[in-house]
Amino acid sequence: MLKVRLEIVSNGIIKTIIDDNFNGAGKSHEEKVVYVTEMDKNNSYLNTMKLFYEVASDLGIDMGNKFDKEVLEFKRSWGSHYEPDLEEVKQEIKDYRGELKYLVNLEKELKVTQTMQTIIDDSKK
């Protein structure tokens, strides 16, 4: 049986995976991973997200994949009372513009594909 144990330590979390039938040979095996969650904010959030993704994987929780319509993901965002500075707002706008550009191009491609399919379907009649 596979067990996942999480332990709180002073600067983060230790995840221990215990397999009491390692490689089907009946031997016990332990693997430990340390997630440091108390450093600078950027790295601690990245480590926390990594912990969540890896625990979900260890437990066999389906989070979706790049081919699925919906995917569960963990993202950082501003707190409801956080007041960003000008540079942070500019970066957020830049990120959203990039995402919007991708979606607009995807929409154009899908319209072309749909138009081509309609022409093909009409020619078969």
Ordered per-residue pLDDT tens for the chain, 125 residues = 889 999 999 888 999 999 888 877 778 889 999 998 887 666 778 888 899 999 999 999 999 999 999 999 888 889 999 999 999 999 999 999 999 999 999 999 999 999 999 888 888 87
CB atoms closer than 10 angstroms to residue 51: 19
User: Do you know the residue count of the chain?
Assistant: 125
Contact, 124 vs 117, CB < 8 A?
A: no
pLDDT for res 1: 80
d(CA 86, CA 78): 14
Question: DSSP character for 120?
Answer: H
Q: Which amino acid is present at 103?
A: L
For the chain, the farthest-separated pair of C-alpha atoms sits apart, in whole angstroms, at: 72
pLDDT for res 42: 66
d(CA 98, CA 90): 12
Place of tokens 């957020």: 92
d(CA 6, CA 13): 7
Q: What is the pTM of this model?
A: 0.68
pLDDT for res 27: 84
For the chain, where are the alpha helices, taking DSSP H only? 41-58, 86-123
